[in-house]
Structure 1
Amino acid sequence: MQETMMELRTYQDVERAVMEQVETHIVRGRFLQALGAGTFTPAQIREFALQYGYYSRNFPRVLGAAVAAVEPLDRWWVPLVDNLWDEAGRGNPKGLHSRMYRTFLESAAPDVEINDEHVPKYPVGAATKRAVDAFLDYLRSATTLEAMAAVGLGSELFAGLVMGLIGEGLRHPNYNVARKLNVGFWMAHADMHEPRHYQLCRDVLVDFQEPEQLQAIYRAGVTIALSEAAFYDGLYDEMMGK
């Protein structure tokens, strides 16, 4: 990849380089631009809610795979398990992220049956499954440093920004005519969860400032970030067919 040949002198350079890709391919991508403009139909928002639910409920698997990929040293696994504990509501069943997501899903797709495990009776689309599989496949062969960078820079660095933009986009009046969408899941992640998750990863990654380490961190981060960009782009195409 051409991007990996850029000069990276500091960890802050890596953060800026990854965020440039995120701005180009996700923030200015077709999905977020259309969502913010209010151009999707209720059927398309319904499809988004159903598909993203699969992505969301598989994130604990991603974190578990990252824990398995890193060395069994506290500095590596604790930030990842802390993130996983958040997914579990930090021990409070009412705070389970799957349960939080259900409140959004029920407001966007009230006609779809959802079981006691918060899983809708609805087929998973190709774009969503590819995104989950790509993350898990990457972590199976990742080094310790790559695994932390994949979660930290490839996801948590910009998750708060992107989830906040999705939450704000879903508040567009065009999407709240027949019923109001519950966007609490999105705004909680934007305001509280994701910035903290990234900081925990960053506290570890910032110690690795050798040129080859910075390149490895960047490659891992941008690989997963661009995979997420492909997810939103593929989901946009699937939504447009609804």
Structure 2
Amino acid sequence: MEQQDEPEMVFEAKSRYLSLHGSYIDQLGNQTTEHVTSEMIQNRITRDQGSGHHITVVNHLDMRYLMPPPTEEEESNRKKARKHTRDALKHVRDTMINEFGQASEWERPVDLGLGSTEEGEAVTYYRVLHWPWGQRMRGFLGLGHGHFHITVGFKPRDVHLYKGPATLLCLRKGAVCTTPQIQSLVQYAPFYYGDDVFIKNLIRTCVRHGHYGSGARLSAGYLYCKNQREAHHYNHD
């Protein structure tokens, strides 16, 4: 029997969360980089119980907000508590599929580059993603903005901190940021005018690499939006 190829994107429940996986997600996550050691990759594979990558769309903390509280009987019975969680995950998944269609029809996440974050001796590397479609889905559920990413590897444990575009390695002082990278980040920057650290790092990177026009336009757009936000807050105080 001929083996079927894995779909590019599949949305389903995993343990306590809802995630997106598939061949396209693996394609992004499997990009080689000198920063991530084989040990870090193996740590991720061991944690995820498999080599496939995923994007967490709705995490376990989100599910606490979304699912109805368990009954006293469910709380006291581990088996029933697990069923309560499974049923809630299925309900949320089905709701999103009914509203947004099958995952194969969704807008693809865009890979912005490799990012990293640290906490004590722990470090995590991941692909930072731009995914407005995912933000719309979270908004539909009444959830806040998500920092979508694909974990590539970590040591000795995963770090659960901000993993947005401000953590991109290419924006760090002294790092090389290619022209295509800068052009891509500038293109998507208006989605992140509220992320002050990212925008300021990107402006500095533009100037550092001689992209003065892009840096100036980015700075003007950022300052305009910042002034608009401040005026809005002032008018509502």
Q: TM-score, normalised by structure 1?
A: 0.30
Q: TM-score, normalised by structure 2?
A: 0.31
Structure number having the greater strand percentage: 2
Structure number having the greater helix percentage: 1
> Relative contact order (alpha carbons < 8 A, sep ≥ 6): 1 or 2 greater?
1
- Higher Cα Rg, which structure: 2
